[in-house]
């Protein structure tokens, strides 16, 4: 079984209800989302869990998690607004922005004025100065840079990227300054994303460094170790044994005289979503068979951005004899490819392909490149299905333009 690819009965039932010109459907949420959360929470039963909204901010996902008692961590003002719209208590939100635009800080400060439980995390001295200039003196956390990055790609190894967090050696001095102007309640770090077994030792070492700084700063309400726990994208990769991971993480960060906070995002939603796309072209070339589909890097950019592998299945004819094919979309760039020379049940024009594990950073990174409308989203809950986000139209693309 390929994780993240829904059953053929759901695909066929929705195929007849598509509108537009063959754009794909995305299936977010569903029963996998709360199941993944409960597995994670059981492994870290002594920690506070906040869902990292940037993985998928759709209302279907946020409301599902809020309904089971999960708080939300937001990396941008728009995510704060989405979380509140989905029913979150603003006092329970954590705002962890990187180089926040002025308008975003304005919104967060105004929100905190009526909701003093909101926590604002900053990773630069300059950001704290900008908060003070806006008259803010409430709850803050310091994002630190431990100098150790982990994860599935160098572009997500945030723990060693100077863009993220206060340099480690500067943290004690910054903490002293921050305490004189704000209510310092936490230390925060996120060291990388997509961590599986091979990265776990380095990940725990980095979390141990964060914990040591938290002990140095002292007198904190919480220490937020971010997220980063991965899911297997390849069929031969093994999922994390979360119970064992919980023990290793706990051993690395204790003792702490503060509440432990974790922010899973990808782990909660990645395998809860798949992307359906229709084959429109099959072309024999000297080096490969090119299979053209109506999805593109505008629909799901992870393969182009991170060289990411996503499982693909021909759900129209899963038992058809396999052949080696390259699957690409309609964008005018060689980067618009979902796989190269991969065995698939031989696709034919009109077949539906399902691309798995797109629940995290699938729709969130979608764009309107080539003026392509973004796809619809359909939420599944057992045998129940509903449109969670309608398909964009050409009118949606141009409605903000002023002539």
Do 142 and 257 reside in the same domain of the chain? yes
Do 22 and 36 reside in the same domain of the chain? no
Last-in-domain residue among 233, 267, 301 = 267
Cross-strand bridge partners of residue 187: 142, 223
CATH number (domain holding residue 59) = 3.20.20.10
Q: Which two tokens stand for residue 394?
A: 């050409």
Active site residues: 332
The C-alpha torsion from 340 through 343 and 346 to 350, rounded to 10°, is -50
Mean pLDDT of 274-284: 95
The percentage of residues in the chain with a pLDDT greater than 90, rounded to a whole number, is 75
3-class secondary-structure state, position 25: strand
Task: Write b or e for each residue in 378-392: b if 16 or more Cβ atoms lie within 10 A of its Cβ, otherwise e.
Answer: bbbeeeebeebbebb
Element (H, E) at 394: helix 394-398
CATH number (domain holding residue 22) = 2.40.37.10
Do 369 and 306 reside in the same domain of the chain? yes
Do 225 and 161 reside in the same domain of the chain? yes
Last-in-domain residue among 238, 267, 296 = 267
Last-in-domain residue among 247, 267, 287 = 267
pLDDT, tens digit, for every residue of 155-204? 444 444 577 799 999 999 999 999 999 999 999 998 876 788 888 888 88
Residue 1 lies in a domain: no
Task: Provide the residue range defining the domain that includes 379.
Answer: 8-27+273-398
Structural domains counted in the chain: 2
Residue 208: other Cβ atoms inside 10 A: 16
> Residue 383: its pLDDT value, please?
73
Strands 166-167 and 119-122, bridge-based pairing? unpaired
Residue 290 lies in a domain: yes
pTM: 0.90
**pLDDT bucket at 24, cuts 50 / 70 / 90:** low
Residue 60 lies in a domain: yes
How large is the angle between the packed helices 102-114 and 125-133, nearest 10 degrees? 60
Name the residue among 338, 319, 322, 342 with its Cα closest to residue 330. 338
pLDDT, tens digit, for every residue of 245-263? 999 999 999 999 999 999 9
> Residue 197: its pLDDT value, please?
84
Do 115 and 255 reside in the same domain of the chain? yes
Strands 274-284 and 352-355, bridge-based pairing? antiparallel
237 phi and psi, to 5 degrees?
-85, 145
Residue 2 lies in a domain: no
Element (H, E) at 130: helix 125-133
pLDDT, tens digit, for every residue of 39-93? 999 999 999 999 999 999 999 999 999 999 999 999 999 999 999 999 999 999 9
Alpha-carbon distance 74 to 93, whole Å?
7
380 phi and psi, to 5 degrees?
-110, 140
Do 89 and 128 reside in the same domain of the chain? yes
């Amino acid at each position: 079984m390929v994780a993240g690819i829904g059953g053929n009965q759901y695909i066929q039932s929705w195929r007849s209800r598509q509108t537009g010109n063959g754009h794909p459907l995305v299936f977010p949420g569903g029963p996998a989302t709360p199941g993944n959360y409960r597995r994670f929470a059981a492994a870290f039963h002594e920690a506070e869990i906040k869902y990292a909204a940037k993985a998928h901010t759709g209302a279907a996902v946020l409301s599902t998690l809020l309904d089971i008692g999960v708080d939300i961590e937001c990396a941008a003002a728009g995510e704060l607004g989405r979380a509140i719209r989905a029913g979150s208590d603003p006092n329970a939100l954590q705002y962890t922005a990187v180089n926040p635009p002025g308008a975003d800080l304005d919104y967060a400060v105004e929100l905190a004025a009526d909701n003093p439980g909101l926590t604002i995390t900053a990773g630069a001295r300059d950001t704290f100065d900008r908060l003070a200039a806006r008259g803010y003196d409430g709850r803050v956390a310091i994002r630190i840079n431990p100098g150790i990055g982990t994860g599935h790609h160098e572009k997500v190894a945030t723990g060693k990227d100077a863009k993220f967090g206060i340099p480690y050696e500067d943290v004690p001095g910054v903490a002293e300054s921050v305490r004189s102007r704000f209510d310092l309640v936490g230390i925060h770090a996120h060291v990388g994303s997509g961590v599986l077994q091979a990265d776990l030792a380095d990940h725990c070492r980095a979390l141990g460094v964060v914990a040591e700084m938290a002990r140095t700063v002292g007198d904190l309400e919480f220490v937020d170790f971010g997220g980063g726990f991965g899911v297997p994208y390849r069929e031969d990769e093994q999922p994390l044994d979360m119970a064992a991971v919980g023990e290793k993480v706990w051993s690395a960060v204790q003792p702490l005289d503060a509440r432990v906070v974790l922010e899973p995002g990808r782990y909660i939603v990645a395998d809860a979503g798949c992307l359906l796309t229709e084959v429109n072209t099959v072309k024999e070339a000297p080096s490969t068979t090119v299979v053209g589909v109506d999805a593109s890097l505008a629909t799901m950019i992870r393969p182009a951005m991170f060289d990411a592998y996503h499982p693909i299945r021909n759900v129209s004819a899963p038992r058809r004899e396999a052949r080696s094919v390259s699957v690409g979309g309609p964008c005018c760039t060689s980067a618009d490819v979902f796989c190269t020379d991969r065995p698939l049940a031989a696709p034919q024009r009109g077949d539906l392909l399902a691309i798995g594990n797109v629940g995290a950073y699938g729709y969130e990174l979608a764009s309107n490149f080539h003026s392509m409308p973004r796809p619809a989203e359909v939420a599944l809950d057992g045998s129940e299905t509903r449109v969670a986000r309608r398909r964009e139209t050409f009118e949606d693309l141009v409605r903000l333009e002023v002539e």
